[in-house]
Amino acid sequence: YINFHSYSQLWMSPWGYTTSKPAQFKLQDDGSAKAVKALGAVFGTNYVHGNIGSTIYIASGNTVDWTFGTANITFSYAVELRDTGEYGFLLPEDQIVPTGKETLAGELALLEYIEGKVYA
């Protein structure tokens, strides 16, 4: 499950209000790292990855929490796209195609990673 937003971040939820990491954290985090590397390789956009609380702010009740904790979807991610705060959710037209290209590269890298873990 991938949830898209606008801001240069890729993260996973630590599930709920706890500061302890779930057992699958490393599995999720490694997938996130692969996606971030692929995203950045397209145009050099600087992305970071990690759990929501350490990359942006403490947040609870988000979709990633629900998909991981309730729907039991191990690979639950939220993506903030390439803006660094200047445009927010309203990226200029000239950033639409580059955003799509780098996001697709990240998704493909993540899917390849997941496939290797699920079907290995």
CATH homologous superfamily, domain 2-119 = Zn peptidases (3.40.630.10)
* Cβ pair 84, 8 in contact under 8 A: yes
Percentage of the chain lying above the pLDDT 70 cut? 80
Q: What is the mean pLDDT of the chain?
A: 79
pLDDT attached to residue 18:
53
Burial label, 92 (beta-carbon count in 10 A; 0-12, 13-18, 19+): exposed
pLDDT attached to residue 15:
46
Percentage of the chain lying above the pLDDT 90 cut? 30
pLDDT attached to residue 107:
93
Is 93 an active-site residue?
no
Q: pLDDT tens digits for 56-91?
A: 777 666 777 788 888 888 888 888 778 777 887 788
Which amino acid, one-letter code, is at 108? L
Tell me the C-alpha distance between 14 and 16, whole Å.
6
Catalytic residue among 80, 93, 107, 112: 80
Report domain extents, the chain: 2-119
| Residue 2 CA, distance from chain mean position | 7
pLDDT attached to residue 60:
65
For residue 54, pLDDT beyond 80? no
pLDDT tier at 25 (50, 70, 90 boundaries)?
A: confident
